[in-house]
Structure 1
Amino acid sequence: MSRTLTKFSVKVDFPVYCTVFTPSGEILLGGGGGTGNTGVKNKLVLFEPKLSEKSLEKLTETILSGEEDRPTCIALHTKENIFSCNINSSEEKIKIGENNNCRIFQYSNEKIELIRTVQTITSTNEDDYQRVNAFSQNGKLLATGGTDSKLTVLKYPSLNIAFPPLNFNKQEIYDLDFDSTGNQLLVVSANTLKILSTKKGESIHTIEKPVFRKNSRCQFRACRFGKGITAGYFYTVVNMTSESRTFIVKWNAVTFERVSTKAIGKKRITAFAISDNGKLLGFGTSDHGIGICDSKSLKVLLFVSKVHGFPPTTIAFSHDSTTVVSGSADNSVHIIQLPEKFDSGGFRLFLILIGTLIAFYAIFYQFYLID
């Protein structure tokens, strides 16, 4: 039976800030109400998607401390049932410089259990947090970046520092990603993209924010190395600040030259991901929509508008690249099972042209031939 487009939304009992698919297809969600007496618990929850029933079945969950912050990012280890996520310690501990923000959890369908903690945020400002993290494909490195402008790369499983942390000149780190070898790390702040060697943390190449129009203001928002068929490229999201335009840019990962640029829409992209087969790019937009792009042409293959009540905070592909999950702070999760083939739009355009010609002929016949 061929796979057709299926999509549905599910409400959960907490704001969703991060998500990832496990290798066997379960969905791990993180989020909550944060610190303070909000009444909304901070959680990590593992669900099994029931696509035919358009529902999520809860397998297990961990209720986190209400005195600490909610999880804000998740990275799954590629070889073990391990994931890393950020959970800021209590405000009291942060103020005295004790913030064990980087947490390592072990998971199964029965239990999610904290096993290690390490501090990568040294700021005493309680508003600073770890925005992003990622394991290398071989599972030997874990990179973290945050609002304190500091990039930290740890060895796994020791969690010792691989090389001295790098500072991004007071710019928040928005996103990062390892290449397939684990030898290079792609990092973006608002104004700068850096490609680093993971051996010593040395810069291989730096790209300043691209300018698409004279005097236009642009910011990097997200980045991903290509995979599979797109392994020789990397991708960046660029949001315009002075105008309502958003672009996805494809770059050559060897020469660092811009290959192609595609205007995706008028609303800013808030979440970004690439499928494991490297064929698809997924994105969430500030007008609460979810889209899918072809990674070669950057053509938008699918866009579903207003699937969330707030802008999507996270988006992820299943490991077989057939399903997409997105989450938002409005307590909603949206699931899309992708079709085997996307409508190219050519046949639809053909029908529109035929309809236009028929209408034109009818008008011509009525006014010119009847008499």
Structure 2
Amino acid sequence: MPAEPTPTTLSPEPGTASKTSFPLDVRFPVYSIAFLDDHRVVLAGGGGSSRTGVKNRLSMYSVDVKKRQISLIDEHELSKEEDAPMTIAVHHKSKAIVAGINSSAAQLEKGVNENVRVFSYTDDKITYEKRRQTITSTDPDHYQKVTAFARIGSSPALAVGTTNSQLSLLDFPDLDDLFPTLNYDGEEIYDADFDDESDMLVGTSSNKLCVWSTRPRGKDVEADALQVIERPILKKELACTFRAAKFGRGPTASNLYTVVNASPAATSGPRSRRPPAGSKKAFVSLWDTRAWKLLKTRTVSQKPVTAFDVSDDGTLLAYGSSDLSVGILDAVTLRPILTVLHAHDFPVTSLKFNPSASVLVSGSADNSIRVIEVPSASQRGGSSATYAVLMTLLVLLVAILIQQTFGDDLLAAARQAL
């Protein structure tokens, strides 16, 4: 089946856009998203090695929110014999894109799976550069699920996590091991992220979060686990699993944000009952990494979260849920800022803020993306600073009422208490 040509300009169908967002049919399953700058985004995905006629690709688009459209700049077509790119990450200083792509079935049979692929980019072109294998398994069901760059350094560290329980730390661009591969006891790696100073790396599996020191480094140096956070137990009838963990940025750099999905625990026997409605929930938690103390938790969805991101300025969190919604939270208070209830027809596979956090793009295997205009700081309202002002005004108002009602003596006592 011949591949369908890629449209050069995409606009939403009439009646599908809302005031804050618009959906676009990109004609291929989107598995990962990365911004090159505020107005250029790369969508990664495709039909894999199946004979669907859907090309595997890295597609660079310009995003015009005012016109509500995206325009194709370059489409880098990948081998139809290999898997679709399942994850990508961008290093802006070196203008590099790293993708996770499984080798062909023929190569897998030979014990070869060169899953780490490196590309360079210019203003209008994506070019293949090199590849390397980190996955020891050649099972086609195992693939590179996580790719993350350290945030500082002209030669940064690169974290690669796979579904066969391996978390690798590589230098870039040489792709040499910085320390031996970490193993998560057979658990799939769901997420990985570096802190602002690139001194810590958090790796997420379903049952635990491990925070690793990235220094010292060396092929024979064992990584040091600074902190291990076991999955929480909320109620005995609920099974909780981690889905994501990311450090804050800038003003929230001392924070760690975790996503936990809860579902009914498996039961059997004559007394087993159907799980009650709403028993599948997703939580976002905020941790203080200086004391490794849990500060607050918010329920964000009645179904599992499937994707999570933190804005580059550290002020916003975004999540995609299997209830097909996309939400944005304040990173300090975890207060909801914006929710798109039916963002896609299938669950979100990836979402990403642009560098200025003015746009959020989500993608899905339903061949669609959604472009969301992020409310500006003045439009969001209710920030932590605003809360502080409101609380001050409330205290003053209470003081005035006390003075009018109970007299000066009680007011003086109230002032001393404050």
Shared fold (TM-score, shorter chain, > 0.5): yes
Greater RCO, 1 or 2 (C-alpha within 8 Å, sep 6+)? 1
The one of 173, 178, 187 equivalent to 1:157 is 173
1:188 is aligned to 2:221: no
Q: Distance in 2 between matches of 1:97 and 1:141?
A: 26
Q: Distance in 1 between matches of 2:50 and 2:19?
A: 41
Equivalences for residues 1-371 of structure 1 within 5 A: 6-139=20-153, 140-199=156-215, 200=217, 201-242=223-264, 243-340=279-376, 341-342=379-380
How far off is 1:202 after superposition?
A: 1.3
Provide structure 2 residue ranges, at least 5 long, that are not aligned to the other structure.
1-17, 218-222, 265-278, 384-418
Asked whether the 8 Å contact 1:155–1:161 carries over to 2, the reply is yes
Query: In structure 1, the residue corresponding to 2:177 is in which secondary structure?
Result: coil
Counterpart of 2:174 in structure 1: which amino acid? Answer: S
Q: Distance in 1 between matches of 2:28 and 2:256?
A: 33
* Aligned sequence identity (%): 39
Query: In structure 1, the residue corresponding to 2:107 is in which secondary structure?
Result: helix
Counterpart of 1:322 in structure 2: which amino acid? Answer: S
Q: Deviations over 1:303-343 (max 9, x none)?
A: 11111110010000010111100000111110111122126
Aligned residues: 343
How far off is 1:122 after superposition?
A: 1.4
Query: In structure 1, the residue corresponding to 2:306 is in which secondary structure?
Result: strand
Q: Distance in 2 between matches of 1:74 and 1:182?
A: 19
Structure index of larger Rg = 2
Q: Distance in 2 between matches of 1:218 and 1:75?
A: 28
CA distance 1:216–1:323, shift in 2 (3 Å): same
How far off is 1:299 after superposition?
A: 1.2
| TM-score under structure 1 length normalisation | 0.90
Bigger drift between 227-236 and 335-344 goes to 335-344
Counterpart of 1:131 in structure 2: which amino acid? Answer: K
Query: In structure 2, the residue corresponding to 1:217 is in which secondary structure?
Result: strand
Provide structure 1 residue ranges, at least 5 long, that are not aligned to the other structure.
346-371
Q: Distance in 2 between matches of 1:25 and 1:212?
A: 42
Q: Deviations over 1:210-233 (max 9, x none)?
A: 122244210000111000111111
How far off is 1:89 after superposition?
A: 0.3
Q: Distance in 1 between matches of 2:342 and 2:176?
A: 43
Asked whether the 8 Å contact 1:285–1:311 carries over to 2, the reply is yes
Bigger drift between 111-120 and 211-220 goes to 211-220
How far off is 1:265 after superposition?
A: 2.0
Q: Distance in 1 between matches of 2:118 and 2:98?
A: 5
Q: Distance in 2 between matches of 1:202 and 1:344?
A: 40
Counterpart of 2:375 in structure 1: which amino acid? Answer: P
